[in-house]
A and B are shown apart, each in its own frame.
Chain A
Amino acid sequence: MSPRLSLFTANKAASALRQPSAVARAQRSVALPLRFREQSAPAQKRWNSSQNNKKGLSPDEQRFPTQDPLPHVGEEAAEMDRIMSKEKSCDGQPSSPELEQGSPVAEILQRDKEGLKHMPKVMQDQLKRRAGGSRSFSTSARSPQPDLQNSESQEDISAAVLADMIQQVNEQAAARLPEGLKFDVPVMPAQKKTLNFRKRYDSMQEQFTKMLMHDGKLARAQKNMSIILDHLRTSSPPNINPRRPLMGGTPAPQLPLDPVLYLTCIIDSVAPLFRIRQQKGIAGGGTAVQVPYPLNLRQRRRAAIKWILDASEKRRDAQLAHRVANELVAVAEGRSGVWDRRDQQHKIGISGRANLGLAPRRR
């Protein structure tokens, strides 16, 4: 018996104890993609602590697995397709209604004392765990009558075992999602690109190279870039100023071996968050008001690269590439004037925050 099938029937068993609305949801839970399964978890929790609820169910309200109402035509077709094509049992046969809607294991176990002894090891383990009181979840807080827990009937035990199993599956599913995400990780556009569309250089490296370029001579700029990267690769690891740490937190001795990362850390560390726009006409009297204006990542980097290239022009080294490389190392060590420039920009921006409301809204 494949695990999937057992879980289906397990859900059926649990459904006997649930509100009708919860039944349909729980039935779907395994077949649905991971992200929708969360919804079934509260139903189980309630179920675990509500053994006295079932007495309230009249025979009319009780629903049996074979009593499902007929779905809509489209749904039925989709379901059929799913059964025929996707839902194969382990031997490759399409799953049949017998398997899906057969007698639930819980019911059988209720009837069959002997079967309870010889039930599968997984279920026995679950039973033991439950008896030992080392269950992975707690029911004590929710139970209205804690004293009744000890006097559980046999059917309750088997049903609880199944619930345990379901919960395990759900926990596994939840574990697969990254922390803090309710749904699957969204697919970023960069990941959708095919393998045939590859960039030769890292995007930041490419941006820097093109800003190094003079007179449209890209090949020369690329050569300079490679000299810069080699300089970063061979120069001694930076002595990082604790007041001006590099972003990313890579240990300084490891930076030179990955020059592109090194370069990225340097650029991103001195990149300003916004530019200052001189906005006229909002304060009146023709005075310009300084309004900070947010930049996106590429724009931020552009500003930082521009500053670094400007600062490198004042250096004395013979080669352009060496001037830039030395300036980059100076930035990494917190010696460069680029840091001051960034601090100043941020200072103006912070004082100009008050003017944000004055600026006319742009689309």
Chain B
Amino acid sequence: MASSWCWSCLSRLRATPTPRAILPPQSITPRITTASFHSSAVQYANPTKKKGSLVAVKYRQGQTLRRKKKKTTERARPPAVGERKALRKRIVLSNPNALEIEGMQDLSSETMVDARLRGSVLGLPVPMLDQLRAVQAFKPKQGWSIFRRPGTVLRRDTLEMARLFEKISGEGDGAEKGKVVKKIITGLKGSGKSVHLLQAMAMGFLKKWVVVTVPDARDLVSGDTSYSPIEGTNPTQYVQPNAVSALLMRTVEANRQVLSSLKVSQKHSALPSLKPSSTLEDLAKLGFQDAAVAWPVFQALWTELTATAAAPGMEKDFKPRPPMLVTVDGIGHWMKESAYRASDYTPVHAHDLVFVKHFLSLLLNGQASLKNGGMVLYATSTSNNPSIYTLDVALDQLAARQTGVSPSSPEYPAPEAYSGADARVLELFKPTTGKEPQFELQTLGGLTRDEARGYLEYFARSGLLREEVNESWVGEKWSLSGGGIIGELEKLGRHVRTTAQPAPVLN
């Protein structure tokens, strides 16, 4: 039954129901809001249920035990957009807590060819770090962040490469100026392929070469950058203007000193805005602002860098062009169909992307293309790497040819029948004909024990490793790292093995 008390003002309701007819219609009477006027609606209302007096049994519901879900703690806000990626891609090159190593030498033109320093860690020159950052030579997971300053081991392959740099630059004995060395670098995971490229870039900067890099080949085929078809090509080729623009930016940032000293020496009809007296830096900067002209700018820059003589009428302040270093990391991504689609929704092969094709063609005609000499180093990658059967076969073929197996002999590796091998990839790795030398396959293995010792001593002298680095200990680690695989050695070196002090007795 309804309570005779008003809920809101505690005044007594009228006990007897008022006839409805007495009440004037609501629309006529002015509404009084101040005094509480009790209408019959209250009395006609259903009686209010007492709380908890009657629990309706729900027959159609399950009788199983329901547990409360654990409340997730409310964080103030999720991290800002891009913060996680920035954290993931962050590259830290210095740890102020690590000890400064006394007597550590820098990489220089003299030390990089000094065989006595083999096995020691040479620091990368501090002014060069900005250049190396610009060409994205450092990778996020390479563990530079625990040392005072970045340094690399001078291993056998490094020394050999340094001698090549010296030869191509036209220094030392047996100089071969204008030669182009083309190499594909492979090796096990953690064997130092990317750092090998980094060392090459550092040497290139030391020798004042022009360094052009593709730090991650995947960026060009993963479908993340814009692409557009080129008119009148068959099969249709695609240009990636933003990727080219980024490449120009990297190249200018890293090679500013060299490029600003060279003047334009050819006529570029595609670039009418280019002044004849401008430097190559100005030329490349044209591609920064307008991505649409990035590809013609890149082509123009390439012709300038590979020119051996000025065009007629532009001989004034022509300087001989320096050799070039071209590096690509993660070449496996370029040996398959890309994530891009053609207009009929068929996948676009990576070799149809004109940017990719340009770099791959250097393997076939590098000597003819890079007229001022240089080095073409393309490395495979083992992290985030597509598994491509044809590339494996092609690399096997290359290795077989290098060991002297004739392509016509039965031992020569061939793709299995019905394996769907990619003909374009096999075509690329075909033995070259004519004057053009064949590109080589360089497989990076482990460090020798002496080199491993030098590397681990670097950890110990940085204060990160608290072990006695002696012959037996190094031998143990060398074996544990699969025969001196440097990535594994690094793990063993940074692995904290010190036993903590015995727990203090709490009183």
Contacts and interface: CB of A to CB of B under 8 A. Distances in A.
Nearest to B99: A257
A264 B79 contact: no
B70 to A, nearest CB: 12
B472 interface: no
B73 A316 contact: no
Interface of B: 73, 75-77, 79, 83-84, 87, 92, 95-99, 145-146, 463-464, 466, 496, 498-501, 503-504, 506
A257 B92 contact: no
Given A300-B506, A318-B84, A257 B76 contact: no
B500 A261 contact: yes
Given A257-B463, A319-B87, A202 B73 contact: no
B496 A248 contact: no
A268 B503 contact: yes
Given A316-B75, A316-B77, A234 B95 contact: yes
Contacts of B92: 234
B362 to A, nearest CB: 38
A261 B79 contact: no
Interface in A225-252: 229-230, 233-237, 247-248
A257 B83 contact: no
A202 B496 contact: yes
A258 B466 contact: yes
Contact of B464 (A257, A271, A317): A257
Nearest to B95: A234
Contacts of B99: 257
Given A237-B97, A316-B75, A264 B501 contact: yes
A260 interface: yes
B500 A204 contact: yes
A235 B503 CA distance: 24
Nearest to B463: A257
A233 B146 contact: yes
Contacts of B506: 268, 271, 273, 300
B503 A202 contact: no
Contacts of A263: 500
A171 interface: no
A295 B310 CA distance: 84
Contact of B503 (A259, A260, A297): A297
A217 interface: no
A209 B166 CA distance: 50
7 contacts: A230-B145, A237-B97, A247-B504, A257-B464, A263-B500, A315-B75, A318-B84
Given A230-B145, A234-B146, A314-B75, 19 more contacts: A233-B95, A234-B92, A235-B97, A236-B96, A257-B97, A257-B98, A257-B463, A257-B464, A258-B496, A259-B496, A263-B500, A264-B500, A264-B501, A315-B75, A316-B75, A317-B79, A318-B79, A318-B87, A322-B87
A360 B498 CA distance: 43
A257 B97 CA distance: 7
Contacts of A104: none
A313 interface: yes
Nearest to A297: B503
B88 to A, nearest CB: 9
Contacts of B76: 316
A292 interface: no
A229 B92 CA distance: 16
A174 to B, nearest CB: 25
Nearest to A255: B97
Contact of A258 (B95, B98, B498, B504): B498
Nearest to B462: A257
A261 B498 contact: yes
Contacts of A273: 506
B501 A261 contact: yes
A112 B506 CA distance: 63
A261 B502 CA distance: 10
A317 B145 CA distance: 20
B499 A248 contact: no
B466 A318 contact: no
A258 B83 CA distance: 29
Interface string A175-219: 000000000000000000000000000101100000000000000
Contacts of A257: 97-99, 463-464
B79 A234 contact: no
Contacts of A317: 79
Contacts of B96: 236
B73 A234 contact: no
A231 B145 CA distance: 10
Contacts of A205: 496, 500
Interface in A296-337: 297, 300, 313-319, 322
The 8 closest A-B pairs by CB, nearest first: A318-B79, A264-B500, A256-B97, A257-B463, A234-B95, A260-B496, A318-B84, A313-B73
Given A260-B496, A260-B498, A317-B79, A233 B97 contact: yes
Contacts of A313: 73
A264 B498 CA distance: 12
A259 B99 CA distance: 14
A271 to B, nearest CB: 7
B125 to A, nearest CB: 22
B286 to A, nearest CB: 39
A21 B347 CA distance: 104
A313 B299 CA distance: 54
A70 B145 CA distance: 76
A273 B464 CA distance: 33
A264 B146 CA distance: 20
Contact of A230 (B77, B87, B146): B146
A13 B99 CA distance: 62
A314 B73 contact: yes
B143 to A, nearest CB: 9
Interface string A259-296: 11101100010010100000000000000000000000
A202 B97 contact: no
Contacts of A204: 500
* Best-buried of B79, B146, B500 by chain A (most CB within 10 Å): B500
B79 A316 contact: yes
Contacts of A319: 84, 87
